[in-house]
Structure 1
Amino acid sequence: MINGLDHIVVLVDDIKAGAKAYELLLGRAPCWRSHGDGSETVLFTLDNVSLELMAPAGNSPTANRIRNVINIWGEGLASICFRVGDIEKTFRRLDRVAMKPEPVAAVESRDLDSGRTLHWKRTRVETELARGIRMFFLELAEERPRSAVTSAAPILALDHVVVSTEDPERAAALYGARLDLEMALDRSHQDWGQLMFFRCGDLIVEIVRRPVAGADQTHDKLWGLSWRVADIGATRARLVASGLDVSEVRAGRKPGTRVMSVRNGTCGIHTLLLERAARAS
């Protein structure tokens, strides 16, 4: 049913500031700019995912709803959209597993710079049934243009999208049984809690449980992003030179990886950069 993660939506207060922040972080230019009912959007498209920045525009109900969300929760991750090959078939399966999908809708977007138009069909499931995560499913008619590289040592692709949960059993049932993603890892550790990895195309949906007293047992939270880089030392040097606050490079939990944290310039998103060791031929 699911071929991969199509895009992630990030709500930002100011679209120009958000686009500038992510052009710096990713080392890539926006590939799409559009204006819709009550919102402005900027897209960055990498090898395996698009990042959509969305800001309120005007005083429509949509714009006011976005502002209200930002006022309550701050800027940050808002929703995820899975790529599928057959939206009608996906709708039927989601309905069969009681996710209450909305009717399939045809949508289009026009790029303000080039005038090019993209078309897709999408549905979304009831947020409460997705454990509080706004979740869409999309069949794209045409591929988006890729974001051009603007700096040395750019980010290549997304490695993980991280979801925080207080009920790993129900989260596993959602992503494994109902969405039919393959579980690649289920591991617990006294220092960092329980981790579950679900394959989604060539990236991972990571479900993490870090027990917190009084936490919400019924609603999960989009928590963070882990981006893939080719040379983490070079990427760190670029970001430090640009004025971002980043950690030192350290060994990752997965053998053969090196990681570092980005502490600012991410529009409120917990952000990790990851370098994978080259595979032996």
Structure 2
Amino acid sequence: MQKQELSYKDTKFTVDTYWIDPLVDYEEQVDRPVVIICPGGGFKFHSDREAQPIALKFNSIGIHALVLRYQLVDDDHSVYPLSLQEMATTLNWLKTQSEHHIDLKKVILIGFSAGSQIVADFNSIMLDPEQREKIFNDELEVEPAVNVMGYPVVDMTLGWPKEDSWAMKISPDIYYWQAQEHLTKNGKPTFIWQTVTDEVVPVMNSIIYAQKMDMLKIPYEMHLFGSGSHGLSLATYVTQKPGVEKNLNDYDSKWWDLCVNWLKLQKILPKH
């Protein structure tokens, strides 16, 4: 892993890069898909359980991976719109990385919990030219092909965060609070998964985004598992906090295989 420092205007941010090296015994190199990962953490921190383990999992199926260390709440900045501008900057930066053999038509955005709201808002706001031009002056040269959202925050009026004061710190502009309200037909196909017993982010967040996608006839696949806690990540021993049994859930861990199948349906991965 190498850290790459990028900037939007006068604000610097970091991207962790997990490139798959070219294979020297190939006569012709393969252009591989790339995923940009937005870990959760309630906009207070970036959860490592949803960073490197997810990146390496994507590497294992032949996909380059980046972890976007997006803007958190601090004394100088709110999360929005800067996190969306950072994502757009990262996407455009991919175009300069030809030595890594990236298939720019197969870019995946994946978010977990709070990180999923950045993905959802990007899909809603930043892929619509009229909305995007209000906050991002440059051309968006690289667009994602698909999105993946795990136990996502979509609408900050549905139960997370519990305090409006924290929501105001995330964004004093309520325009960014409800991603589903700004979704247009420009949105990309999306895979969503969550547990119906999620004790932190109400499952209605997933349902309302899927419902809006359905209304707009944007392809999606949603899996709501019957039990399981918030913040499962891979739901295996790989991402289990020591001694925390609720991080293990063999049933819910199937989300990964379901997601890989869906990426094949979307022609991000070959079927065989």
TM (norm. structure 2) is 0.28
Q: Considering fraction of residues, name the structure with more helix.
A: 2
Q: Considering fraction of residues, name the structure with more strand.
A: 1
Comparing both chains, which one has the higher relative contact order based on Cα–Cα distances under 8 Å and sequence gaps of 6 or more?
Answer: 1
Q: Which has the larger radius of gyration?
A: 1
